[in-house]
Amino acid sequence: MTFGEHLEELRRRLMRGILAFAVAFAAAFAFQDSLMEFFTRPYERARASLNAKWAQDWQARPPPEHPQQRLIDFLVARVAESTTLTEAQRAELTQLQQNEWREPPPALSKLQAIGSLETFSAYMLECLLAALIVAAPVLLWELWRFVAEGLYSHEKRLVGRVLPFSIGLFFIGLAFGYFVLAELSVTFLVGYGDAQFVSPQVAIGSYLGLLFLLLLVMGLVFQIPLVMAVLAHTGLVGPDFYKGKRRHCVLAIFIIAAVITPPDYVSQLLVAGPMLILFEIGVLLAKSAARARARRSASPVA
């Protein structure tokens, strides 16, 4: 193909990709409220659990003493002596006067829009992400068809085997980030520290930025087995290297899981377990790639 033909092919591929993205964006825009409810669901679950925890802590914490508590107790006692108050009524009156001036328990509100454009920006951002996810297969296919014209046959076979697994693992990483890690991360980050000193309020733009960054990172993390296999296929890193670093990787995974999750074993295992499985799958794929590379090197060259 001439240079002009390459440019024409690139233009056709770009137009098809842009058309697919535009259709996906229009569909996402039509269902923007449903998408917003979907993307903010992890925050709402974290908000409910944090508010319940803070209310429980508030009830368990003894109320601070009022500066005029002795005078109040004296007045309550005199009222009880001069009237027909029962002991239960007296206790209720005492509790009532203690809670009248006590600050209410901390509570996390719904997502806030700080700036005048933040609500509009948040809706456009969610539509953009949804459109990219929906149109990703078409975009990747058009990119692959354009790049494949300049590859050798063995390179095409390698990419053809790796690309479907890479896309599948990326979407599995997105699902893991949304259904498992998003709520845990919000609960940890927003609930960090004592709420009686810092009352957190979360902006919609800040939350969506955190969520989308988390989804992207998990999509890339789930590419670890394929990266390990490709490195072994090219001979840059062998499976023995991965096996020698297994203890370090396990320790690093559990440290990361302990940092980003609440202090309970279930949450930590939910995060560390899939990452350990991914590493072990990568080791197995690296062994298979190394054996295949050894067979190619041993076979006579035609």
- If asked whether residues 26 and 170 sit together in one domain, one would say yes
Q: Is residue 114 part of a domain?
A: yes
Query: How many domains does the chain fold into?
Result: 2
Q: Identify the burial level of 201 via C-beta atoms within 10 angstroms of its C-beta, where 0-12 means exposed, 13-18 middle and 19 or more buried.
A: exposed
Domain carrying residue 21: 3-50+108-298
- If asked whether residues 80 and 227 sit together in one domain, one would say no
- If asked whether residues 10 and 140 sit together in one domain, one would say yes
pLDDT recorded at residue 207: 92
- If asked whether residues 141 and 200 sit together in one domain, one would say yes
* Radius of gyration, alpha carbons of the chain: 29
- If asked whether residues 130 and 240 sit together in one domain, one would say yes
- If asked whether residues 211 and 93 sit together in one domain, one would say no
Q: 């520290």: which residue's tokens?
A: 193
- Ordered mean pLDDT values, 10 residues apiece, the chain (302 residues): 74 90 95 95 92 83 63 65 67 59 73 89 93 88 78 72 84 90 86 78 90 87 84 78 85 79 69 85 84 72 46
- If asked whether residues 183 and 207 sit together in one domain, one would say yes
- If asked whether residues 152 and 286 sit together in one domain, one would say yes
Nearest to 45 by CA among 203, 186, 176: 186
Q: Is residue 55 part of a domain?
A: no
- If asked whether residues 148 and 265 sit together in one domain, one would say yes
* CA dist., res. 235 & res. 233, Å (int): 5
- If asked whether residues 171 and 29 sit together in one domain, one would say yes
pTM: 0.75
pLDDT recorded at residue 302: 44
- If asked whether residues 78 and 154 sit together in one domain, one would say no
- If asked whether residues 88 and 207 sit together in one domain, one would say no
- Contact (CB, 8 A) for 129 and 23: no
pLDDT recorded at residue 130: 93
pLDDT recorded at residue 82: 63
Q: Is residue 185 part of a domain?
A: yes
